[in-house]
Every structure is written in C-alpha cells, then in structure tokens.
Structure 1
C-alpha cells in the first residue's frame, strides 16, 4: 500500500462510491477497484460492504479508515515541515559546447530558459567539437552542442540553429567595404585559421574544396586555438580568415568586418547532441 491507496480509500468512504472516488482522484474506475481489492488482499480482510448501493466500510474497514486518516495527517504535517525547513530542490544540467554555440549562441538562449526554470543549475564548458562528442559519449555531460553532425553515429542529434560563416578582414584591409570578393581573389592572401578540431574550420575547408578552393594550399600566417585570438590577429592585419558571423556581432569587433564571397553563401547548422542510453 502507498499514500495514494490510503487517500483513495478515505475518498471512497467519504463519497460512498468507488467510481465517484476514482473521478475525484483522477483514476479510472477499474484502476480504483483494483487498488481497493489489492488493499483487502494485502490486509486479509474485506474493507467495504459491497452488498449495499452505497460503499460502506466494514468493521475492519472502519479501523483501517482511522489508520489511513492518521497516516495522511502525519504525511501532510511532514510535507509542511520540509517545505519550511529544507532548501529548495535543485537539478544540475551540465553542457559541453564547441566555440560558436558555447560562446555566442547559448549565452543568448540560456537566460530565458533559466528564468523559467530557476531550480536548474547550469554548467557550461566550452571545448573543441571532438572533445564535446567525447564528453557526451563518456557521459561527463548531459548535453552537447557542436557546429556539425556528430561523428558517433549512435548519438541522437537535433538541429537547433543556423549559422553563417563569413570571410573576416581587418577594417583597414583592401577587401573592407567591398560588396563581395571572389574566391580567386583570395589566392596569395595570408590566412589566420583555427587549429584542427574546430568544427568551423572543418566545415569551411570542406565547403570551399567543393568549389575548387583548397584552404590547405594557401599561405598560413597564423594558426590559433580560439576565436578571440583569431579576431585579434585579423584586426592587427596578420591575415584574413573565416569565422562565424555570430562572433562578429559581439562588442568591440568594429576593427574586423565581414566580406561576402561571390560564389557562395556559407551556411551551416548547429546541433544539440545526446547519448540515448
């Protein structure tokens, strides 16, 4: 027996009907009847006299009614006590995310979610895409966010946003202010690129290769591990590079400007990933 069984029995006696008690306690009539039968089998006595039109407690049923009412009173008192003395219940949500979703997209999405769910404590760790997948596979985090489909085929994944990758140049660069530039004009330019493991870099290398432009054959001025380092190097005139448009929307990025590529608009999707097991 449990608290719901006790509450059901009290309601049956109060209303004089199992079906009426079932409706009040949001149970089906067969389910309520089974619960009462289970109580009687567990106790080894009949609790209700079913020979009458109104469900009436037997002598044993009256004794059980007194017991049930005491237990419910004590249970409700305990609930009131804990509600005034215990700290509020909290859940934790550990998120791993690659740079673009972790530094530029999630910070705009999480505040309204946290406002609606103040009991959830969120931890966000930014790392390379491959590390995010490993974190999810090894269950060191609850959710992952990356800028490409997961390499682990068993991971569940959903598209959560769309991102545009743009050519970023210094505001003093010859390309700055241009309506667009062609891929051919990029030949010979020094590039500031993200290191391997960056989903942005992987996506741009693959998409440009489809158009016959091989980034690996261009002059590499600097390889960096973070977007801020890449933007600072571009702003300083060390080279040009491809970045998420989201990264250029932040404060203090006026020294770096986006330039469209004539041949293509470089789009990619951001994914939420989760281990289904």
Structure 2
C-alpha cells in the first residue's frame, strides 16, 4: 500500500516593490504675497494713469482743458477735430516731423540692430586676441549715459560740418552698446556650437551658415534689440536738440516741444490741445509695435535666464 503524501500547493509571491510616496512640494503652487500684489498694482497705476490722462484730454478743446477735471471727459468730444488740427496746423508740418522720425528710426535703429547682430554673433562664436578687452569696453560703454557723450559728439560733428543735417542724428544712433551686449549673450545661448560645426562640415560657408542656420535661431533676440533701439531713437530728444536748428529736420519730440513753447513766446499761440493730440499720435506706433512683437520680445529677454 503506497502512502500518498498530500502537500499544499505552493503559491509564488511576487516581490513587493517599495512604494514611492510623492510628496507635494510646498513650492508647486505659487504663493501669493499681498505686499507684492499691492506694489505691482501701484506700479501699474503709475504707468497707466499718464496714458489715460493723455487719451482723455486729447478729446477736449482748448478751453475745456482748463475748465474740466483732468481724468474725465468734458462736454464736447473733439478728438477728431484735434487730430485734423494736428495734421493741418502750420501747413502740415507734423507730417514732415513724422517722416523725419521714421527716417531716423529706419536708418538709425535699423542700422544699430544690424551692427549689434553682426558684432554680437562674432563676439559669441569666434575667438580672437583681445576678446576680453572688447568685453570690458562694451560693458563700460553700457554704463556711460548717452547725455554724457552728447557734447563731445556735437563738437566732433561740428568740426566735420555735419551739424544741422540728418546724419548728425542717424550716425550716433548706429551705436548701441546695450544692444551689442544683449545680442552677444543671446547668440551665446541660442546658437549651439555643434550646429555651426555641422554646417561647416556639410560645406556651408560662414555667410550661408549665418544667414540660413543661425539667423532664424536669433530672431527673438533681434526683435528685442530692435524694439529697444526703436524706442530709444523714436523718443530721442537731447541729441536732436543740440544737433538740429532747422525745424524742417525736427523729429516729433522737438516739434511737439516747439508747439508747446509757443505759449511762452511773445505773440505766440497756445495750442495745448494740439500738443496733447499730437503726443497721442506719436505714441501710437510704439504701442502697436509692442503689441505685435510682444511674444518675441518676452522670449528674447528670457534667453539665457535658465541654464540647462
């Protein structure tokens, strides 16, 4: 008789894996600071109140500017009449001032952006003797205010016989140390050296590598530098003030100041309503440019802020 040994079936147990506990970081949700919110609101009010004042008062007539509250509309809505008056006053000289400003911006700011682009790319991607010295000169030039160089620039252009000409405003506007520095840092982070080496191995020359490979990568930085130089040239006042004497070559800043000063001259006509309406027309191109190029501008400013 055989003994049958019955054994319980063995069950294989899988090895238990340690459970990972995911702890919610306290920094996952941005904290709200009441003080920071209040300060941001104050800065926003400080920046928007002048624009609101300008927009409201551009709709008023000359008498209503002094008889009504500055931050509210008056009885007569005269915005269109003021705009027509700005464009037709003194044989339409405002249009000439606008074209002069556009000329200074296209040649001055456009040339400054081009030079900053070429110089920044060269300093970022090429090694040469004296590169550290160039970096020190660029940083020093950024720290020097433009008004400190206005008088020496005037004396130099006076000796060359270029004062009271458009070149006396355009040529100094071609130099933008801050734009060069910004383009330098942007090209260092945005254009990898491996891509340039790959393009060279494929037989592309330096010009083709720059225009077809590197230039699209540097588009946000180019837009950022362009916006800075356009704003600086559009709002430039002190340099044209000391360089230009002929009102036909005035930019908008000098022209509106001349209109505003008419009220203090003997026999002058007070046209404050036209000055305010002209100021509104002057800032509209800058507002439109910022709104259209905002996304490129923000990405260009953030370049290099995060290091992988």
Q: Place the TM-score, normalised by the shorter chain, in its bin.
A: under 0.3
Structure number with greater Rg is: 1
TM-score by length of 1: 0.19
TM-score by length of 2: 0.18
